[in-house]
């Protein structure tokens, strides 16, 4: 979790699925399924986890605030947008 304090490490870990996504279109038989999975899983499941660990490492939130990351369909974490993006 200490690695999430570094802004570059955070972006590498949080954004690697975006770079993997175009490869799925070339390999997959049905790109619509991959697009649907990516459009749902990345912003509403994967990214809230990564943002939670980043905010926890920075000391902005506490461990009990984990359920809040899904508040308002995951948009609650934008309250700390500048901390997440720029450290």
Evaluated on CA atoms 34, 36, 39, 41, the torsion sign reads negative
Domain range spanning residue 81?
2-86
10 — alpha (psi -120 to 50), left (phi > 0) or beta? alpha
CA 55 – CA 82 distance, rounded (Å): 11
Number of domains in the chain: 1
What's the predicted TM-score (pTM) here? 0.80
Mean pLDDT (whole number) for 7-13? 89
Q: 60-75: per-residue pLDDT in tens?
A: 888 998 888 777 766 7
Output the CA–CA distances (angstroms, integers) from residue 5 to 8, 17, 76, 79, in the order listed. Answer: 9, 20, 20, 18
High-pLDDT (> 90) share of the chain, %: 0
> Cα angle at 23 between 19 and 28, to 5 degrees?
140
Report pLDDT for 36. 81
Predicted local confidence at residue 5, as pLDDT: 83
The pLDDT score that the predictor gives to residue 40 is 87
């Amino acid at each position: 979790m200490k690695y999430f304090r570094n802004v570059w490490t955070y972006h590498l870990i949080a954004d690697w699925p975006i770079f993997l996504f175009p490869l799925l279109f070339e390999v997959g038989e049905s790109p619509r399924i991959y697009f649907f999975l990516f459009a749902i899983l990345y912003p509403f499941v994967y990214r809230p986890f990564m943002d939670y660990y980043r905010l926890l490492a920075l000391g902005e939130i506490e461990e009990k605030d984990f359920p809040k990351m899904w508040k308002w369909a995951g948009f609650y974490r934008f309250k700390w947008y500048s901390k997440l993006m720029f450290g």
